[in-house]
A and B are shown apart, each in its own frame.
Chain A
């Protein structure tokens, strides 16, 4: 088992491509996406019922080491302030295959 950090980001569905760019920029090669996430936040309700994905969020989950996590979070902060979204970081044990 390896020590690692799990980063979970929920942000606008239309902006998920930019989050992937940030993650990959710092060498993280794997991630999972839950495409349609609805709920309520500071900027109102995401009903998930529109035609252009403006009222839909997506969730991206990735696991990385400490340095990668620090770099990703540094760049994510202004991005999330501008676009909106949340980011959760958890220390996890990672099963190396």
Chain B
């Protein structure tokens, strides 16, 4: 892949539809995807990659290298909040520092799905266990951030405090996590035969649904851009730099574990992405003093577009030369 091919990513229909969403809001168009269709699209995409990942995992089976990748993924999800929390705590209040630490430790399923589409376009395979890695990386970051918040912030009204057990339960029962893990297990049990049976639905229309979903993400991201005025310069720089730092750590670890290019890209994208579905939901319960207008806007209006447009092809380019 050369630099020219790298920028071909801009011309990928899902990426162009994302831009269409941004432009539509910019020109004050009344274009919108009616609710609850975006929710259905997201469930469809999770179902689709869960089934595919499960079927792939059925074929490849569990071995020591698969388990090593899964353990590494969980560790990265728990460790990223640790270092980001202490950086953030110096500049912003402790509630938003913890929420942002969870946001950047956890993962974005939509960025992952866009990377799946990118790899498909480049005919590059990846292991089904990376879907399991994505599902497993959602929760450790939430738990780590809530523990840090509890350590550094003593609430006056302890009766209203949310228990850690409640947070852990919520982190694992969030709809998107149940959907991806459930589809992965069903795909694994059904194997290749089961996947072939649902393939016309999960495979053939995948990219079309992704286009419509990214159009909606473009509309939502553009609306969130206005909220960024409140976040300040430091957080804007953070939203661009932390994904790059995490991506470089992930690429280094991928080389150490000798991962294939496809697996290395998926692992890198997971580490570099920021959550805006599971984390905000958990933070509203565990740390309600935090402001979703800050952490959702940063992940959705800066980190997500950066990863989708520049990050994914850039990481892939570096992986091809480095690993």
Residue positions of A touching B, CB distance < 8 A: 12, 14-15, 36, 43-45, 47-55, 78-79, 82-84
- A50–B223 alpha-carbon span in the complex (Å): 11
| Beta-carbon nearest neighbor of A18 in chain B | B285
Partner of B293, one of A14, A43, A51, A82: A43
Stretch binding the partner chain, chosen from B81-89, B196-204, B276-284, B313-321: B276-284
* B-chain residues with CB within 8 Å of residue A15 when the two chains form the complex: 284-285
Q: How far is the CB of B103 from chain A (nearest CB, A)?
A: 12
Is A54 a contact partner of B157 (Cβ separation < 8 A)?
no
| Beta-carbon nearest neighbor of A12 in chain B | B284
Interface residue SS majority, chain B: helix
Q: Does any Cβ of A come within 8 Å of B209's Cβ?
A: no
* A-chain residues with CB within 8 Å of residue B174 when the two chains form the complex: 52
* B-chain residues with CB within 8 Å of residue A51 when the two chains form the complex: 38-39, 42, 176, 277
A47 and B288 in contact (CB under 8 A), knowing A54-B280, A78-B160? no
Is A14 a contact partner of B284 (Cβ separation < 8 A)?
yes
Output the residue of A15, A44, A48 with the most chain B CB within 10 A: A44
* A-chain residues with CB within 8 Å of residue B35 when the two chains form the complex: 36, 48-49
| Beta-carbon nearest neighbor of B280 in chain A | A54
- Which range holds the interface residue count of chain B? 20 to 34
Q: Does any Cβ of A come within 8 Å of B292's Cβ?
A: yes
Q: Does any Cβ of A come within 8 Å of B192's Cβ?
A: no
| Beta-carbon nearest neighbor of A55 in chain B | B292
Q: How far is the CB of A52 from chain B (nearest CB, A)?
A: 4
* B-chain residues with CB within 8 Å of residue A14 when the two chains form the complex: 281, 284-285
| Beta-carbon nearest neighbor of A54 in chain B | B280
A50 and B219 in contact (CB under 8 A), knowing A15-B284, A78-B157? no
| Beta-carbon nearest neighbor of A83 in chain B | B288
* B-chain residues with CB within 8 Å of residue A78 when the two chains form the complex: 157, 159-160
Interface mask (B14-25 → A, CB under 8 Å = 1, otherwise 0): 000000000000
Q: Does any Cβ of A come within 8 Å of B117's Cβ?
A: no
Q: What are 25 A-B interface contacts by the 8 Å CB criterion?
A: A12-B284, A14-B285, A43-B292, A44-B227, A44-B230, A44-B291, A44-B293, A45-B227, A45-B293, A47-B220, A49-B216, A49-B223, A50-B220, A50-B280, A50-B296, A51-B176, A54-B280, A54-B281, A54-B284, A54-B292, A54-B296, A78-B157, A82-B288, A83-B288, A84-B288
- A55–B291 alpha-carbon span in the complex (Å): 11
| Beta-carbon nearest neighbor of A48 in chain B | B35
Partner of B277, one of A43, A52, A82: A52
Q: How far is the CB of A56 from chain B (nearest CB, A)?
A: 9
Given contacts A12-B284, A49-B216, 8 further A-B contacts (CB under 8 A): A44-B292, A44-B293, A45-B293, A47-B220, A51-B176, A52-B176, A78-B159, A82-B288
* B-chain residues with CB within 8 Å of residue A36 when the two chains form the complex: 35
* B-chain residues with CB within 8 Å of residue A82 when the two chains form the complex: 157, 160, 288-289
